[in-house]
Structure 1
Amino acid sequence: MTLVAPDPTRTVPLPLREQADVRDRWLTQRLLDVLPGLMDRAGIDLWLIIGREGNEDPVLATLLPATWLSARRRTMLVLHRSDDGVTAVAVSRYPVGQFLPAWSPEDAHCDLSTEESQWAEVRRIVEQADPRRIGIDVSGTFALADGLSHTEHGRLVEALGPYADRMVPAEELAVGWLETRLPEEIRALHALNRLVHQVVAEAYSPAALTPGTTTALDLAWWLRQRFHDLGVEPWFHPVVSLQRAGVPLVEERGALLPAMLYGSVIEPGDLVHCDVGITSLGLRTDTQRNGYVLAPGETEAPAGLRAAMRAGNRMQDLTVAALTVGRTGNEVLATARAAAAAEGIDADVYSHPVGFHGHGAGPAIGLWDEQHGVPGAGDYPVHTDTVYALELAVRRPVPEWGGQCVRMALEQGIARTGDAVEYLDGRQTQLILIPGG
């Protein structure tokens, strides 16, 4: 299967060596074009990112060369904002990609240990820069912005002496760095989402699914193996669930959820739902798609299920309309739910940022079990040049199922750019029809 990327001369996934070249080029561009504005917005003129091998700051991983799969020993990165842009310096035992080397153990004074010399160099850089506010990665709200360990924090305070009083949480800066996407990254996410859509379509076909034999768990493993064979890996194990007439939804923590998971055999007349996410080029996707297994004599899904899909698409429209720059995640949630109530749509919204991480840093727009707002993460505002998994569900009775309620869950990648929101490789508007055998 050939999977064509936005550039018709390329395919995704790229070979690993080419991926590394692309990721390093993106990092250079992000340091030059994205980071200065983010530091200005956060009011931080020097940012310290510090991590030890085996316990890396999540932000650190996004700043390392593509060939570095972890920190090396203790890796310290210093990003200094000046009138000329951002100076990126590494205080590390080994050279760190695009970062200027500022120290080596061979330069240590005879009266200092290697470790003491490394911390002393950080102090020297800070003294020379004389920053007003020193950002460090500590956050009670966003785990991805809370990567400075207790030990490293203590050592940093000791090393900086009086300059430690200038340390402030870099939460806004770290989240901005993690959530902001380059135009080329968004184009790559179009291609990665296209790959997901094509593989799910293949899964919902006789190539992978035999009604009466294949279980939900079989299909989940087929999806994982297929992505692996294509050269991409999941960031979570695929989930497949079923809904069918006579098997009502079950209540869990105030939400109605499908009762049939994992070992259930897929039968004609079933609504099949999958949730998959892959990672490539340092970016991640998060997608849900729905298929219907045709029963004998059927050529299309029951009208009630098709109406549920239309209601889900309408809920996507309402949520996208609410996703305006400057609104907080909680405000987006409240606006979308109010619009849904006005139209008589029974829906839950639980969308989230996606990019370097599947459940990324940025505004939380509800949780499946928190529909009245998310304290902390839900108070963060929407910014432009960001990507989200537009995740939600609607509930509707299906007349053909005796009025039984169906939960139509949708999840689709979207990009918030300028004044527009674009669906990454389009959204699902019709159920995928699966031959009933």
Structure 2
Amino acid sequence: MHHRCLSFALLLAASLPALANRASPAMPVLLPAPERVGVENQILEHRLQTLLPRLMAEAGLDMWLVLSREYAEDPVYFTLVPQPSFAARRTTLLVFHRRADGSVERLAVNRYPLGPPYESAWSGGDLDEQWQALGALIAERDPARIGINTSRQWAIADGLSHGLHQRLLQALPDGYAGRLVSAEDLVVRWTETRTAPELAHHAKAMAAARAVIAEAFSNRVIEPGKTHTDDVAWYIRRRLEGLGMPVWFHPDVNRQRAGDDCGRDSVFCGAEGVIERGDVLHTDIGGCYLKLCTDTQEMGYVLREGETEVPEGLRRALAAGNRWQDLLAAEFATGRSGDQILHATHAAVEKAGLAASTYTHPLGFFGHAAGPTIGMWDAQEGGTPGSEWPLHPSTAYAIEGNVRSPVPEWGDTWVQVKLEQGGFFDGETLDYPAGRQTQWHVVR
């Protein structure tokens, strides 16, 4: 095990309960809300000091401007400002200037100084003077390439509004408009990269999501013949929010049954309704902790009267899902594009005789984060936005897809096992920081 894997393993060992022989990890201890502020700010300071200079050099930018107005913030804004922060007060202009020695000067030009980790370059109440101050600051530092957040492809890198863009053009010194370039490469690298201080916290977020699913897919929540799938979805949402993990989409819970219209080529199988014995359950949930988001899908089974274990056909189906995960993970290699990983996985899946679909995406400050897109459920051929982006070390992914399998106990009608687990790529291997589902959740 090389040093990156070792340090990551040590971080997890110190923060998570043992995962061996468990359907899901135990609920981790999450920080109380007041303690989260300091941790988030420590993570931010570390990222700004150690990561941003390297990424600005990699992108070839001498200056990066992140310009926002209150309630119309650039998507990347909240990844850059200290906590507690709920909005860009009035107009907030952040300036990152790469010095000759490679360090990055961090400046705020706004009505209310942000304080550390930013130096206030101007404060006051006159909007025109604020923009004039920005123009003077740019002229004084004379950057050759100025990155702004405009992008045709990446939504999170397209946060500069038209109005602010126009004000910027007016404020720039003569001849500087030609120095503006898209900062999209920097934004993607900034948001996709996970630093060492984040790893254990992201792992805890993933473990908490898995533990909530284990609660939801149990007799603690489900009474066969009475509980509706929507009841379970709301349990999951309230439980996550009670943990201080705001959801970034409403949880989905659905069921499959023997004889349903689900086959080898089905796109998605499952329906809402009252949960009965013999049902296969599926959920898709996403919550965030310390700004680090999760996206998790797992499967459950409701025992029939007289059953003491999950039918062998369903156990084999879940094992096929794990096999698909292994085939996908084996294709992760630094520098490969999302499409290259997708096509190699398709070939491996076909050779293994599996009926599988792959639609995997990056995780981080956003649930559907920027980075290499490895298929989409409705575009298995690839060629989608982000599919050409190369895989980088120190990145996280939602290993998402499904496998369809016939179930002998269902008269050889098919079940769709839909899985999604958080994974971390260290540059050589893909690991599951909170484990992955290898056993069915069981409602007895």
Structures share a fold, TM > 0.5?
yes
Alignment-mate amino acid for residue 374 of structure 2: I
TM-score of the two chains, using structure 1 as the length reference? 0.93
Q: Distance in 2 between matches of 1:137 and 1:407?
A: 40
Alignment-mate amino acid for residue 147 of structure 1: G
Alignment-mate amino acid for residue 105 of structure 2: T
Report the counterpart of residue 27 of structure 1 in structure 2. 44
Task: Quote how far apart the aligned CAs of 1:94 are.
Answer: 0.8
Q: Choose the corresponding residue for 1:335, options 336, 344, 347.
A: 344
Report the counterpart of residue 109 of structure 1 in structure 2. none
Alignment-mate amino acid for residue 369 of structure 2: G
Alignment-mate amino acid for residue 397 of structure 1: P
Contact 2:131–2:171 under 8 Å retained in 1: yes
Report the counterpart of residue 36 of structure 1 in structure 2. 53
Q: Distance in 1 between matches of 2:427 and 2:374?
A: 19
Counterpart check, 1:222 vs 2:235: yes
Counterpart check, 1:118 vs 2:130: yes
Q: Distance in 2 between matches of 1:379 and 1:273?
A: 31
Q: Distance in 2 between matches of 1:47 and 1:229?
A: 37
Q: Distance in 2 between matches of 1:166 and 1:116?
A: 22
Stretches of structure 1 that go unaligned for 5 or more consecutive residues are 107-113
Partner of 2:92: helix, strand, or coil? strand
Contact 2:263–2:404 under 8 Å retained in 1: no
Distance 1:5 1:197, change over 3 A: farther
Kindly report which structure 2 residues correspond to 1:2-401, keeping only aligned pairs within 5 A, or say none: 6-7=14-15, 12-82=29-99, 83-97=101-115, 98-105=117-124, 114-160=126-172, 161-249=174-262, 255-261=266-272, 264-401=273-410
Q: Deviations over 1:178-220 (max 9, x none)?
A: 1111122111111111111211111111110111111111111
Partner of 2:345: helix, strand, or coil? helix
> How many residues were matched structurally?
421
Q: Distance in 2 between matches of 1:139 and 1:430?
A: 43
Question: Once superposed, what is the RMSD of the aligned Cα atoms?
Answer: 1.9
Task: Quote how far apart the aligned CAs of 1:256 are.
Answer: 2.6
Q: Distance in 2 between matches of 1:19 and 1:363?
A: 30
Alignment-mate amino acid for residue 101 of structure 1: S
Contact 1:304–1:398 under 8 Å retained in 2: yes
Q: Choose the corresponding residue for 2:411, options 402, 417, 422.
A: 402
Partner of 1:191: helix, strand, or coil? helix
Q: Distance in 1 between matches of 2:167 and 2:37?
A: 33
Partner of 1:233: helix, strand, or coil? coil
Q: Distance in 1 between matches of 2:422 and 2:393?
A: 15
Contact 1:5–1:12 under 8 Å retained in 2: no
Task: Quote how far apart the aligned CAs of 1:8 are.
Answer: 7.7
Partner of 2:370: helix, strand, or coil? coil
Alignment-mate amino acid for residue 256 of structure 1: V
Contact 2:375–2:384 under 8 Å retained in 1: no
Partner of 1:209: helix, strand, or coil? coil
Alignment-mate amino acid for residue 330 of structure 2: A
| RCO higher in structure (CA 8 A, sep ≥6) | 2
Stretches of structure 2 that go unaligned for 5 or more consecutive residues are 1-11, 18-26
Q: Distance in 2 between matches of 1:138 and 1:392?
A: 31
Contact 1:362–1:380 under 8 Å retained in 2: yes
Contact 1:5–1:188 under 8 Å retained in 2: no
Q: Distance in 2 between matches of 1:104 and 1:413?
A: 42
Q: Distance in 2 between matches of 1:403 and 1:170?
A: 53
Contact 2:333–2:427 under 8 Å retained in 1: no
Task: Quote how far apart the aligned CAs of 1:374 are.
Answer: 3.4
Contact 1:250–1:259 under 8 Å retained in 2: no
Contact 1:13–1:232 under 8 Å retained in 2: no
Q: Distance in 2 between matches of 1:265 and 1:41?
A: 54
Partner of 1:41: helix, strand, or coil? helix
Report the counterpart of residue 110 of structure 1 in structure 2. none
Q: Deviations over 1:259-294 (max 9, x none)?
A: 412xx1111111111111111211111111111111
Identity of aligned residues (%): 45
Partner of 1:323: helix, strand, or coil? coil
Q: Distance in 2 between matches of 1:41 and 1:356?
A: 21
Task: Quote how far apart the aligned CAs of 1:225 are.
Answer: 1.6
The more displaced of 385-394 and 120-129 is 120-129
Contact 1:77–1:88 under 8 Å retained in 2: yes
Partner of 2:122: helix, strand, or coil? coil
Distance 1:16 1:169, change over 3 A: same
Contact 2:332–2:429 under 8 Å retained in 1: no
Partner of 1:397: helix, strand, or coil? strand
Task: Quote how far apart the aligned CAs of 1:49 are.
Answer: 0.4
